[in-house]
Amino acid sequence: MSALLMGLFAGTALLLAALGISGVIGYSVAQRTREMGIRMALGASRTRVLTLVLGQGLRLTALGVVLGLGLSLGLARLLDAMLYGVAAYDGWTFVGVALLLGTVAVLAAWLPARRATRVDPAIALRAE
């Protein structure tokens, strides 16, 4: 029961993180519509704009993963004395969580990034 509850909380936290990343990237794309239009009018490909927006999401995620790994390693040192039969430092768990968060971040940033590639340069330059 305890493992199920922890899994439910972890899944909810992951969903909230994905929604947060998607919201931040979506807001950034909405604020930078004119910039995206100028880039595309000057010849930037849709792939380049997609890479630009996805890169922003991955930078945010990388910062969060690095801070989270640092904090979790510090907490693992504190909890090591309280754990019985379980290793506090499981490298595969740390790597797995980092990969999972990276994948979720790419998927969360994908929709706003696709929206950025569909910006019509003429409409984006006219708007403001």
Counts of helices then strands in the chain (DSSP H, E): 5, 0
The pLDDT tens digits of the residues spanning 45-80 come to 999 999 999 998 889 889 988 998 899 888 888 888
Rounded distance, CA 63 to CA 125, Å?
33
Q: At 120, is the pLDDT very low, low, confident or very high (cuts 50, 70, 90)?
A: confident
Question: Is 80 exceeded by the pLDDT of residue 87?
Answer: no
**What was the pLDDT predicted at 91?**
83
